Amino acid sequence: MQYLLRQNRVTQRDLAAALGMHEQTFSNKMCGTRPFTLRDLIRIADYFDVSVDSLLGREPLEVA
């Protein structure tokens, strides 16, 4: 996910806001202290226009 953030020049704060999530909650999920939900992953995949499988590393990440 860090790769997607860098490639799209999006901050964690920006993505958290777009997902309707508190910045600290998102940070905790990025650090692994809280798990991402399936809903989170779907929304992140939609935001970056990638598949959930690519976020999970099950297929190559193809960024337009």
- Do the Cβ atoms of 11 and 21 come closer than 8 Å? no
Domains in the chain, start-ordered, CATH in brackets?
Answer: 2-55 (1.10.260.40)
pLDDT at 52: 93
Tens-place pLDDT, residues 5-63: 999 999 999 999 999 999 999 999 999 999 999 999 999 999 999 999 988 888 777 65
What backbone torsions phi and psi does residue 14 show, to the nearest 5 degrees?
-60, -45
pLDDT at 63: 57
d(CA 42, CA 5): 16
- Do the Cβ atoms of 13 and 23 come closer than 8 Å? yes
Long-range contact set of residues 9-16: C-beta below 8 Å, sequence gap at least 24: 15/44, 15/47
